[in-house]
Structure 1
Amino acid sequence: MQSRSIRVLVVEDEANERQGLAELLKTWGYETEIAADGQEALEKFPSFDPHVVVSDLRMPRLGGMELLKQVREGPSSPTFIILTGQATIEEAVEATKLGAFNFLEKPVDPKRLQVELRNGLERHKDKRDIEIAQRRLREAGILGRLVGRSKKMQEVMSLVGQVAPSRASVLITGESGTGKELAARTLHELSPRKGGPFVAVNCAAIPESLMESEIFGNRAPEEAIAAGKLRNDLYFRLNVVRLELPPLRDHVEDLEEIIAALLDELNVKHQTAVKRIDEEVLQEFRHYPWPGNVRELRNAIERALVTGPGEILMKKDLAPDFGRQAPLAAGDGLQLRAGMSVSEAERRLIQQTLEFTENNKTRAAELLGISLKTLHNKLKEYESQP
């Protein structure tokens, strides 16, 4: 990859360092251009169009961070490596959010720089390839394992497309069943690290006594916390980019596309040949609130697909209790009285939902719109109360 066709722009206000870096890069076979600050670098962008920018962080007129912001908003998307001798954690996090490939401390280690340039160029190529593929897929309403043409899902896909080529940590949030693990897998499959393992850890299923060893390995988290490292480090790592997945009720317009994708997946899994669902079922699905989100939709379709004999899923193929919320018929609903505390009303709602689901906690959590872990915590709390 090292040839005169690879262009590297060196942005450094110290003349000796600037010239020394440029000469070093030339010996490695790169075509180089130099700039004394971010403003001069921007002026050289149209004619030089670099693949990689190696920039100091603090410079007169326009610093490396502001240069990165302006380059990101422009038509070019070079790999950005920032050099600094005094960056704070906050600056490193901000630069990562803006798309910086890496931070290197001064004085620069030539071997480290050479490795980062090579990795950065591979990422640059992967990013271009991924962007082209993602654009085509998004036009079809599909991105990896994510499906939908709605505005909300397009926003999710757009953010996934921006973040996937980077090394930034992503915090994925959303209601139970919205597809957080699918989003994580999509990020992995579209990233330069797609050849490596993807490990999903269900924290809610891990006993509290084992959680620390599962997440932190054999290191002593208490020591790290006492040293003031773990909590800040964990916070910054998790809060680089946040991806919020919408509940299914907020993008019902995607229902048909999601159903089609689920049928394709489940037909392969069960070796069936169901082509579509009946219009009556589709209408019922559209008006159902889906408290369990896409997971509940998948379960409903899978049950109907396995038990239904035809190529079209009919209403009779659905589970007998499909669509039934906690019973609210007269004399059988949730009984509340004026002056009852919110905690007591919550307790009664949870207990009645468990009765309705015949103590199926997973189903109860979906109906209540809370996580299984939250439900377990609530039940443990009730056990300790008189």
Structure 2
Amino acid sequence: MRILVVDDEEHIRDACKKALERVGYSVRTMDSGKAALDELSRNGCDLLLLDIKMPEMGGLELLAKAKEIDSEVVGVMMTGYASIETAIESIRKGAYEYVPKPFTPDQIRAIVQKALEHKTLFDENRILKEELKSLQGGRIIFGKSPEMQRVHDLVSKIADTGSSVLVTGESGTGKELIARMIHERSGRSSLPFVTVNCAAIPESLLESELFGHRKGAFTGAEYHRRGSFEVAGGGTVFLDEIAEMHPSMQAKILRVLEYGEVKRVGAEEPINVDVRIIAATNRDLEREVKAAKFREDLYFRLNVVRVDLPPLRSHKADIPILAQHFLSIYSAAMKKGVRQFSDDAMEFLVRYEWPGNIRELENAVERAVILANGPTVKRGELAQWLAVSGRTQPGGVGAPTKLRTLEELEMEYIQQVLESCGGNRKRAAEILGISTVSLWRRLGSSRK
């Protein structure tokens, strides 16, 4: 963690620097607010230790301006003029803590540690909120087939090595969950797991997302921002769909792997980072390398250990376990009391080819729980949505007798969701992922 001490008294600056460097912090010192702002703009910091009264620019004014540069910086105020009024004013202006002078080295170390722990918790909470938008926790389960047991065994061997990992497999096979499993079983498990979807972020924004930026680095950069590698802070960065990354960005990822450093957009000096990189792709990277679409040197750096995930259709023995697992999750979340699949429903699930793999199975079970009228999911609550693709084994129970139009399927699904919500259109719209207005329009068009 990087600390910037700002005080017009040299002996205070030196005492703080000595006390904090003794326990491993990186400490820089400045004698004025102007010098501190210049340093913050150039190199950033995690915590500001400020004197509340200084010539030209006081600590409160300095903290306010520092927050404009980097809204995530933590401020701790020091003062020899302790009073209730100044303490309240400091907290109101955004300071995390207020410490009266004189103080001992142990006191300042304890306050700084507490403030930085608060910052870490804040960062982790932000990361978790972002992760929860795309993934609900507690789903690291893949089955017990020989195919998946080999994956589990490999994960156990590589988790605590610290080596880079490349996870490959079709879309929906669970690449991110495997990456999380590796992280959770490693020595970095108590530190953040940061996901970056390289395919979902525009090329123009990806560099800032990964490496951060300085205030003013580009239009709209109104404050300093730490990138994913800094936020991970000793943890793991998961680069999903890395094959979609532009070659120029690939070169910068290579530098992280080779030198352990990043450079914020608009910054001059690099920042050291200690992270593990796990990358994933559904493409054949060897073919991409031969086609000059992916850097060979980066491929070799990432491919230290490779985990190949099989498609669900190749380990169908796991389908009953997975289906029941998802059923338990969604039934509990929706308070539906759905407990099991009928025999013919499970037979249908096993026969289906699952082009979308585990993700498609999970979505199908979620939909079945929504539509279920009792404690048992029946074949009809699955087949009407999955059989339209025709992807069941020849002559299997899922073979459709009459294919319906997409509009017919959509309207039937809407009607069933409405029924499950007791006619509550607002709730139905939320489940369907559309606005109430869109729902009204669809219902209106069906009557024409």
In which range does the TM-score fall when normalised by the shorter chain? 0.3 to 0.5
TM-score by length of 1: 0.44
